[in-house]
Amino acid sequence: MSGLASVAGIHSVRAALKFGTEGVAELWLERTRRDRRLSEVADLARQAGVKVRQVDRDELDGAAEGANHQGVLAWVRVPAARAEQDLTALLDRLQTPPFLLLLDEVQDPHNLGACLRTAEAAGVQAVIAPRDNAVGLTPVVCKVASGAAETLPYIQVTNLARVMDALKERGIWLIGTAGEAAEDLYGVDLRGPLGLVLGSEGSGLRRLTRERCDALVRLPMLGQVESLNVSVAAGVCLYEALRQRR
């Protein structure tokens, strides 16, 4: 379906249905499958005003593209990325110390979707990325994010370095990741106003981004590989921050 992303599986579909018709355009159920959990999901959809359609297993398999759909799939509307002024308004409204994730030119939609999903779970209030040379919110991103793209603000900015300067003026401490950093992630205080900054899949942090970080940290690498996938690195950093902040 044009402009929509498919979200498959009972848990992911339940999460998507929280947003009703605003987030979900249509629910597909496997025609011949009888399952109490599927009946509950169908009831949730009808209560939310979402159209429920019975389809054959082959049609579900094709739409799910290999995902384990468990007999149910939701067609989710792809949200629009937010603008820089939305970040200012969000920060002005916060009642708790800011906890942000900044992604410098992440271009793989699977990586962005995974980052959004983990960031939302860890309590991040917004994900910030440059508008150019970075992936936006696409059907693939929304599918991988499993509902997080609808709840977590994804803010695209014209000039990431300038936005980092503005965050620092607000007292937000910016911690970047770099393999050559002298300090270990686990030795840094990640409490208080915080922005974690991760670079692109290939080249990492750009020079101007790196220069604006208050500190650079590395993740311990005890094996033979030189670096982690950016979404995995984001998960490690976010959950260490969450551990400290709790």
pLDDT digits (tens, 9 = 90+) for 108-142: 999 999 999 999 999 999 999 999 999 999 888 88
Q: Is the per-residue pLDDT at 2 higher than 70?
A: no
pTM: 0.82
For residue 3, how far is the Cα from the chain centroid? 19
* Annotated binding-site residue? 27: no
Q: pLDDT for 230-244, tens place per residue?
A: 999 999 999 999 999
Q: pLDDT for 182-205, tens place per residue?
A: 899 999 999 999 999 999 877 889
* Annotated binding-site residue? 219: yes
* Annotated binding-site residue? 202: no
**What is the set of domains in the chain, with CATH numbers?**
4-77 (3.30.1330.30), 84-245 (3.40.1280.10)
Confidence of residue 1 (pLDDT cuts 50, 70, 90): low
Report the C-alpha gap between 195 and 34 in whole angstroms. 47
DSSP 78-114: -PPPBPHHHHHHHHHH-SS--EEEEESS---HHHHHH
Give every CB contact of residue 120 below 8 A, 6+ residues apart in sequence. Answer: 145, 147, 148, 151, 152
